[in-house]
Structure 1
Amino acid sequence: MFRDGALRTGGDLLTVRNPWNGEIVGSVPADTPDEVAEAVGDVRAAWRPPRPHQRAAVLRRSAALLRERAGELSVLISRESGVCVTETRRETERAAANLTVAAEEAERLRGEGIPVPGHDRLAVTVLEPVGIVAALTPFNRPLNQVVVKIAPAVAAGCAIVVKPSERTPLTALAFAGLLIEAGLPPGHLVVTTGPPGTIGPALAGHPEIDMITFTGSVATGRAVALAGAGRRLLLELGGNDPLIVLPGGDLGLAVRLAAEGAFATAGQSCRGVKRVIAVGETADVVAAGLVEAARRKRAGDPLDPSTDLGPLVSEESAAGVERRIADAVAAGAKLLCGGERRGALLTPAVLDHVPPDAELVAEETFGPVAPVIRVDSVDEAIAVANGTPYGLQAGVVTSDAAAFSRIAAELRVGAVNLNAGPQFDSPHIPFGGVKASGMGREGIRYAIREMSVTKTLTFPYP
């Protein structure tokens, strides 16, 4: 366990393996619920919120250190997650940008003055940290998923206990050391590694935890919410994000957005393109363009700079996506290219004429797949897009402003992007969904507010 500014060894160990070749990348302690309880108690005793300018200084210094060590960290991310190094280099820069924005927002925390009608008093509101935040993070993007939870917590003045995925814990531990070096008080941060079935409930249910922020599956998120009942929750539970393509739009742009969104990170992204909903005659052009884009992708060794697409996080995950592709084909879809599996590696697949109720598109599929669903009208596109339990983000490619306005109003999602894919993101804007996609909003400024409480002070006028 990482606590008091250093990694403590443990008895039992968890082995971390490279999904590409099975090599052992490292080992981490298999922490126990009792150790977690002790660590959380120590954090409560040590926590004293730093001043906003002190928080900002830590975040700026950590961003600088991260940029200095970007090469080293990008290789570590690739080795433990299987994501190709060209993408992990971008992930380190994205994480540094989040830290920089968090530093700026730490100095912008504002309350307000409220004259109280009917009373000769002035009310003033101030933002205070919610307390100890428990952050449970997934395997994909193991650096940035940790940063988007730690950075706003630090900016808000909270202490934080992080439980990274047991598949990709090494990056979180490396970043924890960097934060301490940047000046974060050692007693304000714990990183616990261990089996999720025992450590997750022990952390979420600990009485000293004030808030839980979680990214992962719907089933696990609901279990976390039950364990943490009565605490503040910020849940990001995935998506089944559509890219809707309308006639008259830029079809070259649509193909590019669909390919980038479907194949990046080997398709293992909650905001990636999971469904391409093509209206009318756009489907032929989009499907053909996706085949060309998929065939240009080179799948292989993630540490090779010429690789575009690495393996999935495990062979089991790749086999599950392979099965969903086969089931969709059995239900009438046409496999135009790809979908060939070798261990955890799956070549980028393009399918056409996919039935909207096929599991491949009815559920969230974490893999390099671009499924094209053909529809005849905007009405049908909206119905298909809304026809899953998820509601995270969506993209629409069109030149028709009225059609976009209507689609944006009727889609039940957290964000709709015109002539951009659902994968569009920025640290400056809110991120989160509706329905089974979760509750609350990430995005640095918005996550800081989630991790803050409003206190009201009232004064008599002189």
Structure 2
Amino acid sequence: MFRDGVLQPAFDQFAVRNPWTGENIDLAASDTAAEVDEAVRAVRAAWRPLRPDRRAAILLGAARLIRERAGELAELISRESGVCIAETRKETERAATNLVVAATEAERLRGESIPVPGQDRLALTIFEPIGIVAAITPFNRPLNQVVVKVAPAVAAGCAVVVKPSEQTPLTALAFAEMLIEAGLPPEHLVVTTGEPGVIGPALAGHPDIDMVTFTGSVRTGREVAGIAAGKKVLLELGGNDPLIVLPDADLGLAVRLAGQGAFATAGQSCRGIKRVIAVGAVADELAAGLVEAAAGKRAGDPLDPATDVGPLVSVAAAITVERRIADAVSAGAKLLYGGERRRGSLVAPAVLDHVPADAELVVEETFGPVAPVIRVADTDEAIRVANGTRYGLQAGVVTRNVAEFSRIAEALRVGAVNLDAGPHFDSPHIPFGGVKSSGIGREGIPYSIREMSTVKTVTLPYPL
């Protein structure tokens, strides 16, 4: 356990494996529920909120350290997650940017004054840190997924206990060391690693945890929310994000967006494109363009700078993707390119056409490099198909018709709709989150900071 500013000796450990080579990279502590309890109680006893200017300085210092050590961090992320080095280099910069934005927002957290109508009193609102935040993060993007939870917690003045994925814990531990080096008091941060079925409940149900922020599957998120009953929760539970391409679309743009959104991070992104919904006659040319895009992707060793698509996080994950592709083909889809498991957990970028809207491949969140094309007759059918899953995270629409886009944007049950951009569009400055089973609350640095704050109201006599 990373506690009191250093990595503590562990009674039990587990191996962290490289998804590409299968070799052990390092060992991580397998913490117990009792150790988690002791650590959280110690944080509660010692934590005191920092001044906003000090919070900002710590976050800026951490951003500087990430940029200074970007090369070694990117390699570590690739080795433990399998994401190709070209993408993990971008992840380090994205994480640093999130920290800088959080530093700026830490000093912008302002209340307001409200003259109370009909009464001679003035109300003042004050943002205060919610307390101790438990941050439970997934395996994909193991640096930035931690940063987008820890940075706003620090900016809000909270202490934070991080539980990274047991598949990718090493990056979180490296980042924790940087935060301490940047000046974060040791009693403000714990990183606990090990069996999620042990640590997750121990954190979510702990009486000294004030808020749980979780990114992961719907099933696990609902379990966490149940255990955390009575606490504030912020849940990002994945998506089945569509890119809707209308007949008047710029097809070059549509193909480029679909290729980026479906194949980046080997398709292991909650906001990645999971469905390409082609309206009318556009489908033939769109599918052909996607085949060309997939053929141009090099799949293989994630540490090779020329690689575009690395392995999935595990062989089990790759087998699931392979099976869903086969099931879709059995149901009538046409496999136009790729989809085979080449080595271990490496899946070749796949393009499928004529995919039935009820195929498991496109009903569930498929974490793999797959671009499934669903053909629909008109915009109304596109909306029905897009809304036809339990998810509602983000969507993209490619069209030149702004009025038609506005109609689609109003009808889609999602957290964000992007015109001429994919559902994978993001910025640290804007809200991120979904509806339906995709989650509760909003991330995005300014919004997360407010989620991790409470509003205290003070009233006093208003001078006449």
* 2:220 is the alignment partner of 1:220: yes
CA contact (8 A) 2:98 2:428 kept: yes
Paired residue for 2:284?
284
Alignment of 1:314-333 (within 5 A): 314-333=314-333
How much does 1:12 deviate? 1.0
Alignment of 1:397-408 (within 5 A): 397-408=398-409
2:92 aligned partner, one-letter code: T
Deviations 1:351-396 (A, max 9, x none): 0000000000011000000000000000000000000000000000
User: How far apart in 1 are the matches of 2:172 and 2:230?
Assistant: 28
Paired residue for 2:441?
440
SS in 2 for 1:139: coil
2:297 aligned partner, one-letter code: K
How much does 1:62 deviate? 0.6
Alignment of 1:303-382 (within 5 A): 303-341=303-341, 342-382=343-383
How much does 1:245 deviate? 0.1
Deviations 1:54-112 (A, max 9, x none): 00000011101110000000000000000000000000000000000000000101100
CA contact (8 A) 2:142 2:172 kept: yes
How much does 1:441 deviate? 0.1
User: RMSD in angstroms over aligned alpha carbons?
Assistant: 0.5
User: How far apart in 2 are the matches of 1:156 and 1:382?
Assistant: 38
User: How far apart in 1 are the matches of 2:116 and 2:311?
Assistant: 60
SS in 2 for 1:45: helix
Paired residue for 1:188?
188
Paired residue for 2:113?
113
Paired residue for 1:461?
462
How much does 1:14 deviate? 1.2
SS in 2 for 1:311: coil
User: How far apart in 2 are the matches of 1:24 and 1:461?
Assistant: 66
2:366 aligned partner, one-letter code: T
User: How far apart in 2 are the matches of 1:320 and 1:367?
Assistant: 9
User: How far apart in 2 are the matches of 1:9 and 1:135?
Assistant: 22
How much does 1:343 deviate? 1.1
Paired residue for 2:414?
413
User: How far apart in 2 are the matches of 1:340 and 1:442?
Assistant: 35
How much does 1:405 deviate? 0.3
User: How far apart in 1 are the matches of 2:79 and 2:151?
Assistant: 24
* 2:36 is the alignment partner of 1:49: no
Alignment of 1:13-412 (within 5 A): 13-341=13-341, 342-412=343-413
1:106 aligned partner, one-letter code: A
2:428 aligned partner, one-letter code: P
SS in 1 for 2:273: coil
User: How far apart in 2 are the matches of 1:361 and 1:451?
Assistant: 34
User: How far apart in 2 are the matches of 1:150 and 1:127?
Assistant: 18
Deviations 1:228-261 (A, max 9, x none): 0000000000000000000111011000000000
User: How far apart in 1 are the matches of 2:279 and 2:123?
Assistant: 54
How much does 1:118 deviate? 2.5
SS in 1 for 2:352: strand
User: How far apart in 1 are the matches of 2:117 and 2:199?
Assistant: 50
2:171 aligned partner, one-letter code: T
User: How far apart in 2 are the matches of 1:262 and 1:355?
Assistant: 18
Q: Which aligned runs of 4 or more in structure 1 are off by greater than 2 angstroms? A: none
How much does 1:461 deviate? 2.8
How much does 1:119 deviate? 2.0
SS in 2 for 1:166: coil
SS in 2 for 1:203: helix
Deviations 1:253-307 (A, max 9, x none): 0000000000000000000000000000110011000000101110000000111
User: How far apart in 2 are the matches of 1:395 and 1:129?
Assistant: 35
TM-score, normalised relative to structure 1: 1.00
How much does 1:11 deviate? 1.2
How much does 1:419 deviate? 0.1
1:119 aligned partner, one-letter code: Q
User: How far apart in 1 are the matches of 2:174 and 2:88?
Assistant: 15
SS in 2 for 1:390: coil
How many residue pairs get aligned? The number is: 462
Deviations 1:131-165 (A, max 9, x none): 00000000000000000000000000000000000
Percent identical pairs in the alignment equals: 76
User: How far apart in 2 are the matches of 1:179 and 1:325?
Assistant: 42
SS in 2 for 1:114: strand
2:333 aligned partner, one-letter code: A
1:258 aligned partner, one-letter code: A
User: How far apart in 1 are the matches of 2:228 and 2:320?
Assistant: 30
How much does 1:9 deviate? 1.7
* 2:423 is the alignment partner of 1:422: yes
User: How far apart in 1 are the matches of 2:217 and 2:261?
Assistant: 19
SS in 1 for 2:128: strand
2:455 aligned partner, one-letter code: T
In the alignment, structure 1 segments of 5+ residues that lack a partner are: none
CA contact (8 A) 2:115 2:462 kept: no
Deviations 1:187-228 (A, max 9, x none): 000000010011100110000000000000000000000010
How much does 1:116 deviate? 1.3
TM-score, normalised relative to structure 2: 0.99
Deviations 1:15-36 (A, max 9, x none): 1000001011110110000000
1:263 aligned partner, one-letter code: F
